Amino acid sequence: MQRENKKIGWLEGIIEAVHDGILVIDRDGIVQLINEEYTNITGVKREQIIGRTLVEVRPGAQLPTVLKTGKVMEGVFRKEKDMEYVVDMAPIYENSEIIGAVSICKSIPELYELSKELRKSKQRVNQLEKAVGLIHRARYTFSDIIGGNTHLRKLIYQAKKISTSNLSILITGESGTGKELFAQAIHQESTRNAQPFVPVNCAAIPSALLESELFGYEEGAFTNSKKEGKIGLFELANKGTLFLDEIGDMPLDLQAKLLRVLQEGTFRKIGGLKEQQIDVRIIAATNKDLLNMVQRERFREDLYYRINTVHLPIPSLRQRKDDIPEIVASIIRNQKHIREFQIEEDVINILMEYDWPGNIRELKNTINYAVNMTDNDSITYEHLPETIKVLFLQNKTKLNPPQSLEALIKETERKAIMDTLKETGVSVKGKKEAANKLGISLASLYNKLAKLQINL
């Protein structure tokens, strides 16, 4: 009994320290404890209620129901005289038996203050969302895609048409062909253009981190995780576009999770219990052969067909060399120089002959380099980067290579005879000496010269 009293004493001390109004009844519905805040909120004094049956003093009380049903009741609105408050009620268990119930009250003015704070926080969240939206803004539109090549124009037409739909898009093409440029332009043309465009480079993020980058995590989801949790890129891109760059580098287990999100339209944070609705348009890009990866079981077939609803294969620059002069002109225009640049015909010819393994990115870098190398307003062969000059020269010497063994023999004969005659001279004496050196008769030398159509 002494211990019971001591316990009650402790409890009284504790509930006094609580900021909300508290009332506790025992299993018979008799009020055992209240704190001062309860009196402040409801106007009921200790001496009026302690030791008495709750329904006797407060006929409208619902706490006895909780005692009976064992069910928690939350946010119950109560109004008594001019007092308004909200009550949460819960049963108290001991050894899985209900031994009482507790009622926790919050006055409306206090709730009002809290909701004011909540509104302020919401406003802040809104501002932050806008700021995030500004960071994740697409810069390019379709008008930034230069080139009149028919194949490219068809692709742009198709891309514009599907921009406004919510279909997933797969953009393929070599490095530097403009995959991201297309992705941004599609987003800008879509109804989502006021919402974020969030790019993720699946190859640049270590696979162990990619999942938490994409989906985020709840607080304390794992050791070393940030205490307050993390918002994932999916959530950041909500209502906008998520650009999954280099999707061919996404680990298989994550591909399965991505597929679930695309199919269900919901996702769950790491360590989270709640499924969250998400409305994100997916544009994926890769320079890998995904179909081949599917065959080698490196890429999930179901995901492949899910993202491949629309496929935009961007041609390489070498497949649309006709665009080179226009792109070069546009790159020069976009340079921040006031000077007007001329580009020599020869240079354009070299640029047209080169293969551009790095596509438009390489062409851009080359022109920017050349512009910076010039002292006057004209770009000449001299201003091109060494790599291009060397490759160009190598290609030149490779021109007209012998086609057959016969041609090769002819070419070698011609070279051997010409090299020897250069040494000996072309007089009759010289020819005799050359025939000697080559180990053939003078008549045979004359024959060969005639065959090779060499007139000396």
Ligand X SMILES: Nc1ncnc2c1ncn2[C@@H]1O[C@H](COP(=O)(O)OP(=O)(O)OP(=O)(O)O)[C@@H](O)[C@H]1O
44-63 burial: b if 16+ Cβ within 10 Å, else e = beeeebeeeebeeebeebbb
- Which of 91, 178 has the CB closer to ligand X? 178
- Min dist. Cβ of residue 172 to ligand X (A): 9
- Min dist. Cβ of residue 175 to ligand X (A): 4
CB atoms within 10 A of CB 420: 18
Residue 246 as a binder of Mg ion (CB under 5 A): the answer is no
Report the alpha-carbon distance of residue 324 to residue 340 in Å, rounded.
18
Report the alpha-carbon distance of residue 193 to residue 361 in Å, rounded.
25
Q: For 201, phi and psi rounded to 5 degrees?
A: -95, 105
Q: Binders of ligand X: how many residues, by CB under 6 A?
A: 16
Residue 370 as a binder of ligand X (CB under 6 A): the answer is no
Q: Residue from 37, 180, 189, 323 that binds Mg ion (CB under 5 A)?
A: 180
Amino acid at 391: L
**Of the candidates 402, 403, 366, 397, the residue with the CA atom closest to the CA atom of residue 381:** 366
Residue appearing with tokens 């009250």: 105
Give the dihedral of Cα atoms 156, 293, 248, 230; nearest 10 deg.
130
Q: Residue from 40, 175, 335, 372 that binds ligand X (CB under 6 A)?
A: 175
- Which of 87, 181 has the CB closer to ligand X? 181
* Positive or negative torsion for Cα 312, 318, 321, 326: positive
Q: Residue from 37, 180, 189, 211 that binds ligand X (CB under 6 A)?
A: 180
CB atoms within 10 A of CB 206: 7
- Which of 180, 211 has the CB closer to Mg ion? 180
Q: Residue from 91, 176, 196, 315 that binds ligand X (CB under 6 A)?
A: 176
Q: Which one-letter DSSP state was computed for residue 404?
A: S
Q: Which one-letter DSSP state was computed for residue 427?
A: S
Residue 192 as a binder of ligand X (CB under 6 A): the answer is no
- Which of 198, 445 has the CB closer to ligand X? 198
Report the alpha-carbon distance of residue 413 to residue 449 in Å, rounded.
10
- Min dist. Cβ of residue 361 to ligand X (A): 4
Tell me the residue nearest to ligand X as measured from the CB: 178
Pattern 45-74, Mg ion, x by CB under 5 A: ------------------------------
Q: Which of residues 273-332 bind ligand X (CB under 6 A)?
A: 287, 327
Write the CB contacts of 400 (distance below 8 Å, at least 6 apart in sequence).
none
- Which of 333, 429 has the CB closer to ligand X? 333
- Min dist. Cβ of residue 323 to ligand X (A): 7
Amino acid at 8: I
- Min dist. Cβ of residue 341 to ligand X (A): 17
At residue 321's C-alpha, the angle toward residues 180 and 287, to 5°, is 35
From ligand X, Mg ion, none, interface partner of 360 (C-beta below 5 to 8 A by class): ligand X
- Which of 168, 420 has the CB closer to Mg ion? 168
Q: Which of residues 113-172 bind ligand X (CB under 6 A)?
A: 145-147
Residue 362 as a binder of ligand X (CB under 6 A): the answer is no
Consecutive H or E run containing 277: strand 276-277
Residue 41 as a binder of ligand X (CB under 6 A): the answer is no
- Of 67-75, 101-109, 179-187, 323-331: span binding Mg ion (CB under 5 A): 179-187
CB atoms within 10 A of CB 101: 26
Rule CB under 5 A: which residues touch Mg ion? 180
Rule CB under 6 A: which residues touch ligand X? 145-147, 173, 175-181, 287, 327, 360-361, 364
